[in-house]
C-alpha cells in the first residue's frame, strides 16, 4: 500500500531556543546497538570516558562496544514518550528516516559502524531559514544526516537555504587534542589505538558540531575549544553574514547544551557560576537559574548489565527543550530541576528519560527545532 506523503512542513524559521516551537525533528534510536569506539569517538567523549578507557579496550583493537538491547528498547520507549508530549503541546514532530539495519561505513581512510540519527542537534544548526550541516567529529556520524535529508528537502522545497561545512576526511591527524593537553591530560588512551590512514600534508581540519552553538536571535554563541572549531567559526562568519557569532573560549570540550540553556530573554539555566565568565558581557547580567544538585538515585543502576560506559555527564538533564518562554520539557528523573523551574513560574512538561548518560543526549540533543516563531531579535543589548 502506498503511504500518504507526509504533510508538507511549513517554512523553516528558527533563530533561538525559546520562542514558541511549532515544528521539530525528533531523533530515533533503532539499531543503536553498539558504540564504535575508535580514536575519533574516544577523543570526542574523552571528558567522560577517559577513566574507563583502557580497562575495557581489548588488546586486539576491537572497537565495537555492544549496547544491551534492553537499554535500546527502554530508550525507544522514552523517546516515544517525548514524541507524545511534544505532540500534546501542539508541536508537529518530524522524524529522520530509520536505518533498516546496522550500517558499516568505509571511507578511503577508515571504517566505522554508523551511529543512528538520535542526537539530531549535533550535526546541523538551523540559523533562521538556513539549514547548516556541520562537520562531524566522530567518524561513525559522517553519514548521519543522510537520514534527515527527506526532511531537509521538504524544507528546501518550501524555500529554505541549505549549506554544508566542508566534509572532513577525519584522517589520522585531523583532530586537535589541544583542549586536553592544555589541561595537562594525557590523551594516549584515545590516540594509541588509532587505525585510520593519514593524508599527507592535511593536518587539522574544520571539525565542528551544531550543538556547540546556542542561538539567541541575531546572535549566536559558539564554543571554540581547539583549532578544528576555530576554522568552523571562521566558516560561519564568512558564510552567514547577517548573524553575529560570539566566540566562547573553551567553555566545554565541544557541546554546550548541558552547560547553558537560554530560557527566555534575560533568563538562562547554567550549570554553575564558574561558567559565567565564558559568556558575552551582555549575558553576564542576565538572571540565572543554577542547575540544582542531583544524586545517584536519579540515575539507573547498571551493575546487573555488566559494564556500560557513560558517555554523558551527570549534568545531561540541564539539556531541556523549550516549547515557549514559559513552558519547558524536562526529564522527570530530575525532580530537583522541575521544582526550581516551577518556582520561577515555568510550566514543566515532565518526560521520563532513563539512559541519558549512555547515549550522550538529553531532550535538547534529541531534537532539531526547525520552526519557532521568533526572528533575528537583538537580545543582547
Ligand X SMILES: NC(=[NH2+])NCCC[C@H](N)C(=O)O
CB closer to ligand X, 140 vs 365: 365
Among 298, 313, 326, 327, binds ligand X (CB under 6 A): 313
**312 belongs to the binding site for ligand X (CB under 6 A):** yes
- CA–CA separation, 42 and 85 (whole Å): 34
**302 belongs to the binding site for ligand X (CB under 6 A):** no
CB closer to ligand X, 174 vs 254: 254
**27 belongs to the binding site for ligand X (CB under 6 A):** no
Q: Which listed range, 29-37, 216-224, 229-237, 359-367, lies at the site for ligand X (CB under 6 A)?
A: 359-367
**122 belongs to the binding site for ligand X (CB under 6 A):** yes
Map the footprint of ligand X across residues 246-275, applying CB under 6 A.
255, 257-258
Paired with 269 in beta bridges are: 261, 289
CB of 139 to ligand X, least distance (A): 17
CB closer to ligand X, 262 vs 360: 360
CB closer to ligand X, 171 vs 214: 214
**322 belongs to the binding site for ligand X (CB under 6 A):** no
Secondary structure (H, E, C), the chain: CCCCCCCCCCCCEECECCCCEEEEEECCCCCCCEEECCHHHHHHCHHHHCCCCCCCCCCCCCCEEECCHHHHHHHHHHHHHHHHHHHHCCCEEECCCCCCCCCEEECCCCEEECCCCCCCCCCEEEEECEEEECECCCHHHCCHHHHHHHHHHHHHHCCCEEEECCCCCCCCCCCCCHHHHCCCCCCHHHHCCCCCCCCCCCCCCCCECHHHEEEEECEEEEEECCHHHHHHHHHHHHHCCCCEEEEEECCCCCCCCCCEEEEECCEEEECCHHHHHHCCHHHHCCEEEECCCCCHHHCCCCHHHCCCCCCCCCCHHHCCEEEECCEEEEECCCHHHHHHHHHCCCEEEEECCCCCCCCCCCCCCCEEEEEECCCCCECCC
Q: Which listed range, 167-175, 281-289, 329-337, 357-365, lies at the site for ligand X (CB under 6 A)?
A: 357-365
**35 belongs to the binding site for ligand X (CB under 6 A):** no
CB of 41 to ligand X, least distance (A): 13
CB of 366 to ligand X, least distance (A): 8
**Assigned C-alpha cell, 19:** 520562542
CB of 198 to ligand X, least distance (A): 28
**121 belongs to the binding site for ligand X (CB under 6 A):** yes
Between vectors from CA 203 to CA 200 and to CA 208, what angle results, nearest 5°? Answer: 135
* Residue window 62-101: x/- pattern of binding to ligand X, with contact defined by CB under 6 A: ----------------------------------------
Among 19, 115, 119, 130, binds ligand X (CB under 6 A): 119
Report CA-CA distances (Å) from 363 to 12, 28, 61, 301, 350: 20, 12, 33, 21, 11
Q: Which listed range, 117-125, 190-198, 200-208, 276-284, lies at the site for ligand X (CB under 6 A)?
A: 117-125
CB closer to ligand X, 137 vs 264: 137
Size of the site for ligand X (CB under 6 A): 15
**365 belongs to the binding site for ligand X (CB under 6 A):** yes
**316 belongs to the binding site for ligand X (CB under 6 A):** yes
**360 belongs to the binding site for ligand X (CB under 6 A):** yes
Among 99, 262, 361, 374, binds ligand X (CB under 6 A): 361
Nearest alpha carbon to residue 324 among 128, 90, 132, 94 = 90
Nearest alpha carbon to residue 117 among 94, 93, 96, 140 = 96
CB of 332 to ligand X, least distance (A): 19
Paired with 127 in beta bridges are: 130
CB of 255 to ligand X, least distance (A): 4
**Assigned C-alpha cell, 222:** 559558539
CB of 122 to ligand X, least distance (A): 5
Q: Which listed range, 74-82, 168-176, 241-249, 308-316, lies at the site for ligand X (CB under 6 A)?
A: 308-316
**9 belongs to the binding site for ligand X (CB under 6 A):** no
| Binding residues for ligand X (CB under 6 A) | 48, 119, 121-122, 211, 255, 257-258, 312-313, 315-316, 360-361, 365
Amino acid at each position: 500500500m502506498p503511504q500518504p506523503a507526509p504533510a508538507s512542513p511549513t517554512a523553516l524559521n528558527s533563530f533561538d531556543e525559546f520562542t514558541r516551537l511549532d515544528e521539530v525533528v525528533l531523533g530515533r534510536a533503532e539499531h543503536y546497538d553498539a558504540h564504535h569506539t575508535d580514536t575519533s569517538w574516544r577523543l570526542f567523549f574523552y571528558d567522560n570516558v577517559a577513566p574507563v578507557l583502557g580497562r575495557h579496550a581489548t588488546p586486539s583493537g576491537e572497537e565495537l562496544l555492544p549496547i544491551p538491547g534492553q537499554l535500546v528498547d527502554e530508550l525507544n520507549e522514552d523517546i516515544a514518550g517525548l514524541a507524545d508530549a511534544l505532540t500534546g503541546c501542539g508541536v508537529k514532530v518530524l522524524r529522520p528516516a530509520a536505518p533498516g539495519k546496522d550500517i558499516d561505513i568505509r571511507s578511503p581512510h577508515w571504517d566505522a559502524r554508523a551511529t543512528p540519527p538520535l542526537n539530531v542537534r549535533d550535526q546541523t544548526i538551523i540559523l533562521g531559514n538556513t539549514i547548516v550541516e556541520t562537520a562531524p567529529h566522530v567518524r561513525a556520524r559522517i553519514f548521519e544526516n543522510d537520514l534527515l535529508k527527506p526532511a531537509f528537502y521538504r524544507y528546501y522545497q518550501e524555500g529554505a537555504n541549505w549549506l554544508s561545512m566542508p566534509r572532513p576526511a577525519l584522517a589520522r591527524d585531523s583532530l586537535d587534542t589541544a583542549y586536553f593537553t592544555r589541561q595537562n591530560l594525557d590523551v594516549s588512551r584515545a590516540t594509541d589505538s588509532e587505525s585510520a590512514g593519514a593524508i599527507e600534508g592535511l593536518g587539522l581540519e574544520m571539525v565542528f558540531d551544531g550543538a556547540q552553538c546556542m542561538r539567541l536571535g541575531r546572535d549566536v554563541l559558539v564554543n571554540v575549544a581547539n583549532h578544528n572549531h576555530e576554522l568552523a567559526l571562521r566558516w560561519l562568519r564568512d558564510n552567514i553574514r547577517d548573524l553575529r557569532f560570539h566566540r566562547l573560549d573553551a567553555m566545554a570540550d565541544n557541546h554546550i547544551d548541558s552547560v547553558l540553556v537560554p530560557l527566555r530573554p534575560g533568563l538562562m539555566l547554567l550549570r554553575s557560576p564558574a561558567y559565567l565568565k565564558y559568556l558575552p558581557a551582555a549575558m553576564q547580567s542576565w538572571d540565572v537559574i543554577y542547575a540544582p544538585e542531583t544524586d545517584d538515585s536519579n540515575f539507573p543502576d547498571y551493575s546487573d548489565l555488566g559494564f556500560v560506559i557513560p558517555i554523558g555527564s551527570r549534568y545531561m538533564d540541564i539539556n531541556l527543550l523549550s516549547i515557549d518562554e514559559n513552558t519547558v520539557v524536562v526529564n522527570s528523573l530530575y525532580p530537583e530541576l522541575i521544582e526550581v523551574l516551577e518556582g520561577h513560574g515555568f510550566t514543566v512538561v515532565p518526560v521520563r528519560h532513563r539512559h541519558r548518560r549512555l547515549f550522550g543526549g538529553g531532550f535538547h540533543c534529541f531534537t532539531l527545532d526547525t520552526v519557532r516563531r521568533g526572528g533575528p531579535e537583538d537580545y543582547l543589548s
